[in-house]
């Protein structure tokens, strides 16, 4: 569904049927220690960018709303875990490096 920021995100849900105006981020709603989500946070959310860059079926992305420095602002923090390698992913845009054979990509570049 299209977010208030104007791009597609599979975790955003908006219900506008018959005058309703209900918007939520279902990914953040699953996180127990997250602060409250607001539609303005979608503008700088890293999750849709991660999912466009890395389509690995083993990648699990988690997100939460966190306060910034001195608690003056709020932002979305995202972290990723690989089900296949069993550990955290340092750079979710690229992946863990163990799920896909990088030789395939090197051969394609030649």
Write phi, then psi, for 57 (nearest 5 degrees): -70, -15
| pLDDT in single tens digits along all 110 residues of the chain | 888 888 899 999 999 899 889 899 999 999 988 999 999 999 999 999 999 998 888 999 999 999 988 888 999 999 999 998 888 999 999 888 887 665 555 555 55
Encoding tokens for residue 86?
Answer: 């069993």
Q: Give pTM, 2 decimals.
A: 0.79
- Within a 10 A sphere around the Cβ of 75, how many other Cβ atoms? 13
12 contacts: CB under 8 Å, gap ≥ 6: 1, 2, 3, 23, 24, 25, 26, 42
């Amino acid at each position: 569904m299209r977010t208030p920021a104007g791009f597609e995100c599979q975790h955003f849900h908006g219900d506008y049927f018959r005058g309703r105006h209900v918007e939520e981020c279902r990914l953040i709603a699953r996180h127990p220690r997250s602060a409250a989500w607001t539609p303005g946070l979608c503008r700088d959310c890293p999750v849709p960018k991660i999912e466009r860059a890395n389509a690995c079926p083993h990648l699990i992305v988690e997100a939460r709303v966190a306060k910034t420095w001195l608690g003056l602002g709020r932002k979305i923090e995202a972290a990723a875990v690989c089900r296949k390698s069993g550990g955290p992913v340092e750079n979710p845009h690229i992946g863990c490096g163990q799920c896909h054979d990088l030789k395939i990509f090197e051969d394609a570049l030649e």
